[in-house]
Amino acid sequence: MIREIIAVVFAALAGVAGAEAGQNTALPVPLPPPTVYQIPTPAPLAPPINPGPVVVPPAGLSPSLSQPGPVSPMPVRTSPPYPPAPTPGPIDQQKTQSYRNDLLDQRWRLERNGASPDNPRSRDVQRQIDLPSAQ
């Protein structure tokens, strides 16, 4: 009895395997190529035809068309467009103070780098700082 059951199971398995094998033997059907949309090229147009000279109206052209420039004159400003920027002092005084600040900065850098007061550059900077200025 067991042998009969085993024989039936093997026969069933062989039938299933045969059915699957039968499906794989057919040749695959190729897929259709993908559809690609291409924009058609527009047909060339003929060049425009010259309609001839423009007919001038009997009253003549409008002055706004025949005369270049603005239609009405620009209004005259009575005050400057913006007030002048305030300055802390006269320009020469600003330049003098800026020059003095640069000399003090040079002296500080020389001292920081270990230059002695006998160094020619250090003496020159100190001499320019000591000059009388109109402050």
81, two tokens: 């467009």
Do 120 and 126 form a contact (C-beta atoms < 8 A)? Answer: no
Instruction: List Cβ neighbours of 107 (8 Å cut-off, separation of 6 or more).
Output: 122, 125, 126, 129
The reported pLDDT for the residue numbered 88 is 67
Instruction: List Cβ neighbours of 71 (8 Å cut-off, separation of 6 or more).
Output: 64
d(CA 4, CA 87): 117
Taking only the tens of pLDDT, the chain with its 135 residues reads: 788 888 888 877 776 555 555 555 567 788 888 888 888 888 998 888 888 888 877 887 777 777 777 767 778 877 767 777 776 667 788 888 889 999 999 999 999 999 888 889 999 999 998 887 644
The reported pLDDT for the residue numbered 103 is 93
